[in-house]
Structure 1
Amino acid sequence: MTIPLSVLDLSPISTGSDARQALRNTIDLARQAERWGYNRFWIAEHHFVSVASSAPTTLIGLIAAATESIRVGTAAVQLGHHTSVSVVEAFGTVDALYPGRLDLGLGRSGHRGDQLRSAGVPPVPNPDRPIQVRDGVVLPPPFRPGQLLDTTRIAAGLEALNLPGAQPLPYSQQVQQIRDLLEGTYTGSDGVPLHAFPGEGAEVQLWLFGSSGGESAQLAGQSGLPFAANYHVSPGTIVETVEAYRAAFRPSARYARPYLVVSADVVVAEDDATAQRLASSYGHWVYSIRSGAGAAEYLDPAAAPPLTGPQRRLVDDRVTTQFVGSAASVAERLRALQQLTGADELVITSVTHDHEDRLNSHRLLAREWGLSHIRAA
């Protein structure tokens, strides 16, 4: 049976463009993704970099207004930068107008002491493991956090995003607060009941996100929540991440069994050669992240110089696990990823310099995958 496909978008800013156009492109992609039959449209939260998705709770309201039925959500809210009340009230506001369509994805990025995680770098369970290919899926050695060239910018960003002296709650405690606020069971100091309006009773689905078999995966399992595992961020840890979630899972009122989404980075074109050309500046973009400078404007492949040897080695795990090619070849690799992980759903992220190429990538894959709502252009 064909499982659903969903979209993860970062509102990337390309060279020669700006944040205003990137946001317009995101709205356009969301409308088309709905038309083509994608199940969800998720927005990532990033700050002080050349992507325009820095305010995802604002953006999902705009996307919900511009679409009719596709689920819209965050992948994920960086809890270290937000209070539980602000998250619930923001989602409750959007849900009040577009009920039953929101996915509230939570991630632990942004907590002090997690500076490396805020750059998408999980703990390393076995960094010396050689590259593997299991059931057709490439599993590179896990990325070493120490390979990041400079974390100064990450630390400065965290300082700017938090009030002086403010200390985020432990991740598990904040997740529980959000659940209590949504369910109407939250109590403040001295046991005083507090109710978030809008927010309480909102018809949102709660998700946890993670790139390792650590706290997020285990908490999602123990709480009986759906979980999104980030193969596209940390391909070397996907097996451990999925296994940790399933091992920890306890049935909840809403989920009798684990529900797993796995992400993949894809670029699809009419043929393999065209797709490879469109994806040829992806390594430069990943390098800008791992160098410590933060995601740069996405380069035009025609103007991108070759990566040096050291640059390529820093990003090789991400480049070799990007699914690039014709719709048939990418779909084959996605099916292999689904079979290896047992995912109930896959979420794809696709970045190209030109918006039309990104639209075409999603359109071709939707058609090849057999998404039910695709219609002729």
Structure 2
Amino acid sequence: MSVGLSILDLSPISEGSSAAQALRNTVDLARHAEQWGYRRFWLAEHHFVSVASSSSLTLLGLVAAATSRIRVGTGAVQVGHHTSASIVEAFGTVDALYPGRLDLGLGRSGHRRSQFGASATTTKGGHPVLDTVTGRTEVRDGVVVPPPFDPRRVTDRSRFLASVEALQQPGAQALDFADQVAEVQALLEGRYFTGSGVELHAVPGEGIDTELWLFGSSAGESAELAGKSGLPFAAAYHVAPGSALDAVAAYRAAFRPSEQLAEPYVIVSADVVAAADDNTARHHASTYGHWVHSIRSGGAAEYPDPATTSPLTSDQHRLVEDRLASQIVGSPTTVVERLEALQRVTGADELLITTITHDHADRLESHRLLAEAWESRTARAA
């Protein structure tokens, strides 16, 4: 089977624009993605930053309504901020009108073990390993692998901690991730019982034809749970390029066949900006580091305009160098070569493309050029 391309969209808000325009841009991109042959259109969930995808469960329905064939999903629902029932019922509501096209992606954000700064460890081989910024960036068969980013480098965590407080009811405790995934599965399959033994059925939601995915960025709980559960796995190379390859390896090592999957199935994300030539692409991508820096430094800036933004300082660059080194930027030929390397090294069954530029037209052009170049590459391979 050929390796397909899918899109992960954050509904970015550009400097001088608005959330309303960002949402219109997302719907417009989804329509074009369907025309250009992308397999899936997934929606990220981020809160209290300058993107308009805070309510991915709502946006899911808007995108499904605006398209007709492409699969639409969440990449991923931050389950620590939602009850299992609210997730399944929301998906059931959209599926009732647009059946058989939804991908339910779940991520661990909001859970106790994923609280920002609560732990700076991942796991490898079952043993805790400290995320550090020591060491050098590697290039593995054409894939850039920087040292894992240590979240303790972000000195101002006040905004993050405030957002966690705002997104949960006072005193609420999120379930362990594995327990909540099991709850979602039980609700979907019609075998859910409360802790007191009462049987409940999600209406709508129970019995819908949806694909359940788990998202992860390190060789830890999410990757291992996806493998042991026989679920497809999405590895977030675009967010955590220093540990995403380890996540893929951990998933494959833990995989057990299930009713849903006989073999592991992996989608790997990548941050991409394509343009007619390398120089133009670099210009369009030149403020990506500023945007990442604003998030990591505790801010929430709108996506800056390359025409009016000064270069990063040396200190600013050091805070985001992992993301800049792993971003795939250039002409269609340049981008395809690097994506081929990422697919080859990870064995990805699909690649998940996220693209952010200040100008929506440049973002459309990036996705169009990539789709055309990837289709030509696939035709040559055949």
Q: Are the equivalent residues in 1 in contact too, given 2:13–2:302 (CA < 8 A)?
A: yes
Q: Does 1:289 align with 2:295?
A: yes
Alignment of 1:255-334 (within 5 A): 255-294=261-300, 296-334=301-339
Corresponding position of 2:92: 92
Corresponding position of 2:101: 101
Once the two structures are TM-superposed, the CA of residue 149 in structure 1 deviates from its matched residue by 2.3
Q: Does 1:180 align with 2:186?
A: yes
* Helix, strand or coil at the partner of 2:26: helix
Give, in whole Å, the separation in 1 of the partners of 2:96 and 2:166: 31
Alignment of 1:360-371 (within 5 A): 360-370=365-375
Alignment of 1:97-136 (within 5 A): 97-112=97-112, 114-116=114-116, 123=122, 127=132, 128-136=134-142
Give, in whole Å, the separation in 1 of the partners of 2:140 and 2:84: 40
Read off the aligned partner of 1:223 and give its amino acid letter: S
Give, in whole Å, the separation in 1 of the partners of 2:117 and 2:218: 10
* CA separation of 1:77 and 1:371: change in aligned 2, threshold 3 A: farther
Corresponding position of 1:74: 74
Read off the aligned partner of 2:189 and give its amino acid letter: E
Read off the aligned partner of 2:362 and give its amino acid letter: D
Give, in whole Å, the separation in 1 of the partners of 2:19 and 2:197: 44
Give, in whole Å, the separation in 2 of the partners of 1:126 and 1:134: 19
| 1:9-42 CA distance string (max 9 Å, x none) | 0000001100000000000000000000000000
Q: Choose the corresponding residue for 2:169, options 163, 171, 182.
A: 163
Read off the aligned partner of 1:46 and give its amino acid letter: H
Q: Are the equivalent residues in 2 in contact too, given 1:112–1:158 (CA < 8 A)?
A: no
Q: Are the equivalent residues in 2 in contact too, given 1:265–1:322 (CA < 8 A)?
A: yes
Give, in whole Å, the separation in 2 of the partners of 1:301 and 1:45: 25
Q: Are the equivalent residues in 1 in contact too, given 2:131–2:150 (CA < 8 A)?
A: no
Total equivalences in the alignment? 370
* Helix, strand or coil at the partner of 2:223: helix
- Indicate the RMSD between aligned Cα atoms, in angstroms: 1.7
* 51-60 or 122-131: bigger deviation: 122-131
Give, in whole Å, the separation in 1 of the partners of 2:76 and 2:178: 15
Once the two structures are TM-superposed, the CA of residue 117 in structure 1 deviates from its matched residue by 7.7
* Helix, strand or coil at the partner of 1:158: helix
Q: Choose the corresponding residue for 2:223, options 203, 217, 233.
A: 217
Q: Report the TM-score when normalising by structure 1.
A: 0.95
Unaligned runs of 5+ in 2: 123-128, 378-382
| 1:299-340 CA distance string (max 9 Å, x none) | 000111111111000000100110000011101100000000
Give, in whole Å, the separation in 2 of the partners of 1:52 and 1:171: 25
* Helix, strand or coil at the partner of 1:264: strand
Read off the aligned partner of 2:60 and give its amino acid letter: I
Read off the aligned partner of 2:285 and give its amino acid letter: A
Q: Are the equivalent residues in 1 in contact too, given 2:287–2:303 (CA < 8 A)?
A: yes
Corresponding position of 2:201: 195
* CA separation of 1:369 and 1:125: change in aligned 2, threshold 3 A: farther
Once the two structures are TM-superposed, the CA of residue 6 in structure 1 deviates from its matched residue by 0.1
* CA separation of 1:115 and 1:330: change in aligned 2, threshold 3 A: same
Once the two structures are TM-superposed, the CA of residue 131 in structure 1 deviates from its matched residue by 1.3
Which 4+ residue blocks in structure 1 deviate beyond 3 angstroms? 121-126
Corresponding position of 1:375: none
Once the two structures are TM-superposed, the CA of residue 122 in structure 1 deviates from its matched residue by 7.4
Alignment of 1:50-69 (within 5 A): 50-69=50-69
| 1:110-129 CA distance string (max 9 Å, x none) | 124533289xx973656333
Corresponding position of 2:125: none
Q: Choose the corresponding residue for 2:149, options 115, 134, 143.
A: 143
Q: Are the equivalent residues in 1 in contact too, given 2:121–2:130 (CA < 8 A)?
A: no
Q: Are the equivalent residues in 2 in contact too, given 1:30–1:63 (CA < 8 A)?
A: yes
Read off the aligned partner of 2:298 and give its amino acid letter: G
Give, in whole Å, the separation in 2 of the partners of 1:69 and 1:199: 21
Once the two structures are TM-superposed, the CA of residue 190 in structure 1 deviates from its matched residue by 2.9
* Helix, strand or coil at the partner of 2:172: coil
Q: Report the TM-score when normalising by structure 2.
A: 0.94
Q: Choose the corresponding residue for 2:362, options 347, 357, 366.
A: 357
Give, in whole Å, the separation in 2 of the partners of 1:98 and 1:280: 38
Q: Are the equivalent residues in 1 in contact too, given 2:143–2:338 (CA < 8 A)?
A: yes
Give, in whole Å, the separation in 1 of the partners of 2:80 and 2:242: 25
Q: Are the equivalent residues in 2 in contact too, given 1:273–1:325 (CA < 8 A)?
A: yes
Alignment of 1:23-38 (within 5 A): 23-38=23-38
Corresponding position of 2:3: 3
* Helix, strand or coil at the partner of 2:203: coil
Q: Choose the corresponding residue for 2:341, options 325, 333, 336.
A: 336
Once the two structures are TM-superposed, the CA of residue 239 in structure 1 deviates from its matched residue by 2.1
Give, in whole Å, the separation in 2 of the partners of 1:122 and 1:225: 24
Give, in whole Å, the separation in 2 of the partners of 1:259 and 1:51: 29
* 184-193 or 92-101: bigger deviation: 184-193
